[in-house]
Amino acid sequence: MKNTLEEFKDYLHRMRQYDHVLTLLHWDLSTLAPEKGVEAHMNAINYFSTEQFRLSTAEEYGKMLRELSAPELFDSLDEAMQLTVKRGRRDYERFKRIPEEFYSSYTEVKARSERAWEKAKRASDFSVFAPHLEKVISMTKDFVRYMEPEADPYEVLLDMYEEGMDSKVIDRVFGELKEGLLPLLKKIGESPRPDLSALEGKYDIAAQKKVQSMLLEYIGFDKDAGAMAESEHPFTTELCIGDVRVTNHYKEEDPISAIFSAIHEGGHAIFGQGIDSVYQDTAVERVDMMGLHESQSRFYENILGRRRSFWVPIYRKLGELLPKVQEIPLDTFVRAINAVQPSMIRTEADEVTYCLHIILRYEMEKEIFRGDVSVDQLPGLWNDKMEELLGIRPRNDGEGILQDMHWSDGSFGYFPSYLLGSMYDGMFLEALEKEKGSVDAILEAGRIGGDHSLAA
């Protein structure tokens, strides 16, 4: 007969299969699914997430969690299993409080809202998205209230993405950042503008895809354990340790956007691919600190990708793929990818203004969850904050409030992770150089992937 731990592991493995199918379905909906198949895919998502919900709230699961939490058993578990039981118990208690009908309709509302957001973004028309957003906001509030009836909903959301983090700490660190960055940005604005004209022109999309592929390989993405696709917004999907996928979004007139998205998502993917397979089906496999995850992607993107030394081993190759680059000296290119200037789109922002894009979203989320701002007022509030923080005003909602996918699927509380991750990065760089020596020397030698050297 199996003991409780063995039964628990079997149960986790069963739950895991639902997660697997759901992740694939979501990936497919955001990348390849044709319009006429959407309805059927959404039905499938709804079916599998309801089944998954039943498994995660089942009495037998709760019983196993209680048994494994008893000190004599708990102390005998390894660390990964202890964490799995602890998280499992927390989530079990939370999910038990959610009515199944609510959970099921929340899932459906989010899936529909994501599709509406894609359409709204393409048409730059907030009115297409507004009714969906309104529902997602109100249901996200209910969802959190069911899980943690006593807590402040926004605090619960923050904690979901960055365990242990709260708005008190974020208010303080973001406040300090804002105070330092606004005068810095003003000073930069008063100095001579960098010349970005060298990069202007049209870049073949097929060639940009080859650049992405080259970059992913360069930084160490394992193509046998991943895949690439196109989507409205770049993202990474961790299906399992042996299959971590990235997407990208291409613009004909701007190759830099896709280049840095490729490096960013590649950073997420390498982190996912690097997780030891002994942690499969445990809580360790999924990192619950998105700030830490973002620190990996943003480390590749900014700390490595914006250095001259990063490009030295591959600049010739970049020129082969994008012939226009052959006319641009490396130093000009490096200056262009490091230009600081206020712009509309977060994912394309430089390191200075990026922080302000996040602060804007954080301030808005606090308004949404604690203030009494209506959905119709949100685009205007966004634009006002853009003016206040960055001195520019979006010409339309496509380059304003519609640019990010996060709110469409209820991922409120996620945005701060990007900035926390960027702040961790500075500390990682310092620690890395202490241990491994100059990052520039490592990069110039083509050793970004560790000790295997690059044949560029």
Which residue number, 57 or 302, has a Cβ lying nearer to Zn ion? 302
Are the C-beta atoms of residues 224 and 392 closer than 8 Å to each other? no
List 265, 285, 294, 363, catalytic entry: 265
Q: Note if 162 is an active site residue.
A: no
Identify whether the C-beta of residue 74 lies closer than 8 Å to the C-beta of residue 47: no
| Nearest distance, CB of residue 235 and Zn ion, angstroms | 8
Q: Which is nearer to Zn ion, 324 or 406 (CB)?
A: 406
Q: Which is nearer to Zn ion, 130 or 269 (CB)?
A: 269
CB of 349 to Zn ion, least distance (A): 13
Cβ distance 196 to 339 under 8 Å?
Answer: yes
Residue nearest Zn ion (C-beta atom):
297
Handedness of CA 212, 217, 220, 226 (dihedral sign): positive
Which pair of tokens denotes residue 411? 């991922």
Q: Are 196 and 332 in contact (CB under 8 A)?
A: no
Closest CA to 151 of 88, 63, 90: 90
Work out how close the CB of 297 gets to Zn ion at its nearest, in angstroms, rounded to a whole number: 4
Nearer to Zn ion by Cβ, of 157 and 405: the residue is 405
CB of 301 to Zn ion, least distance (A): 8
Q: How far is the CB of 106 from Zn ion (least distance, A)?
A: 24
Residue 48 vs 235, nearer CB to Zn ion: 235
The amino acid occupying position 52 is: Q
* Contact positions vs Zn ion (CB under 5 A): 294, 297
- What angle do helix axes 351-370 and 416-436 make, rounded to 10 degrees? 140
Rounded least distance, CB 247 to Zn ion, Å: 12
Cα radius of gyration rounded to whole Å, the chain: 23
Task: Tell me if 231 sits within 8 A of 17, measured CB to CB.
Answer: no
- Contact, 326 vs 453, CB < 8 A? no
Q: Pick the closer one to Zn ion by CB: 273 or 297.
A: 297
Residue 55: CB minimum distance to Zn ion, A: 29
Specify the residue, 8 or 299, whose C-beta has the smaller distance to Zn ion. 299
- By annotation, the residues acting in catalysis are 265
